[in-house]
Amino acid sequence: MAKRTPDGPPPPPVVQRVRLQYAKRGRLRFTSQRDFARAFERALRRANVPMGYSAGFTPHPKISYIGAAPTGVASEAEYVEIGLAREVDIQALRAALDDVLPDGLDIVDAVPAGPGSLAERIQASRWRIELAGVDAGTLGAAVAAFLARDEVGVERLTKDGRRTLDARGPVLTAAVSAAATGAGAAPRAILDLVVRQVTPAVRPDDVLAALRIVAGFALDAPPVAVRLAQGPLDDAGEVADPLQPDRVAAGTAP
């Protein structure tokens, strides 16, 4: 029996790779990764981006999503890499995509992809979690109890059923502050976290579940979590910009 081959010529090779930073803001924080992927592919078509495609019977656009935030949290630092069949002006590409994406899904930056894997640079995330109706002192005591532990197991429902993960080990730093409020307003506390990337990733809700386990810390209102950064860890333990090596390679670093 003859081996089947796809009809027509193979797709043109990828000649340019671009790395994009995007944000999920406002109501669009409830967008799932699947929903974002659909919106992003529509935006690529509407902006007439000359995408490269895989070979085979069902060609797919050359898109790699890196370290997507969980549904329900906002983010200022999500990343995606695309492969193009012809070279384009990268800043014009960024503007065109931003124009056709829904408000709240915003292209923050675009750089030519340099050598190395972007995914391998994602070593940690920096999170800010705002907790309405919570006094900073109460939160601080719960965080101190959490940090005093070597390990705190929390349960998470996954596609393979319930599993227990350690919410303490990956947390590198946890700092508490009081959010500014008007006179007579209910208190609000801020929890800033730096969390090392592990598999499965420890998320803000895992840390809040751990605070409930170790200190009986409970919330009366849903938290508002924002990922402020994700990338490599620098010598001071801060989360650095993962696109900086690409800027250096392209000669556009500040």
Residue type, 203: R
Place of tokens 């329900």: 72
Q: What is the model's pLDDT at position 208?
A: 97
Q: Give the per-residue pLDDT at 9.
A: 67
Q: Range(s) for CATH 3.30.70.580 in the chain?
A: 16-120
Task: Let me know the angle formed at the C-alpha of 189 by 185 and 190, rounded to the nearest 5 degrees.
Answer: 135
Long-range CB contacts for residues 33-42, cutoff 8 Å, separation at least 24: 33/65, 33/68, 33/71, 36/68, 36/105, 37/63, 37/65, 39/101, 39/102, 39/105, 40/80, 40/101, 40/105, 42/100
Tokens of 7: 């009809």
Selection from 40, 253, 232 nearest residue 118 by Cα: 232
Q: Does residue 174 contact residue 195 with C-beta atoms inside 8 Å?
A: no
Q: What is the pLDDT of residue 179?
A: 83
Q: For residue 51, give the 3-state DSSP assignment.
A: strand
**What's domain 124-231's architecture?**
2-Layer Sandwich (3.30)
* pLDDT at residue 123 in the model: 96
Supply the CATH classification number for the domain 16-120.
3.30.70.580
- pLDDT of 184: 67
pLDDT tens, residue order, the chain (254 aa):
455 555 666 778 899 999 999 999 999 999 899 999 999 999 999 999 999 998 776 788 999 999 888 899 999 999 999 999 999 999 999 999 999 999 999 999 999 999 999 999 999 999 999 999 999 999 999 999 999 999 999 998 877 788 899 999 999 999 999 987 766 678 899 999 999 999 889 999 999 999 999 999 999 899 999 999 999 999 888 999 999 999 999 998 88
Task: Evaluate the omega torsion of the peptide bond into residue 200 and state whether it is cis, within 30 degrees of 0.
Answer: yes
Indicate the pTM of the whole model. 0.90
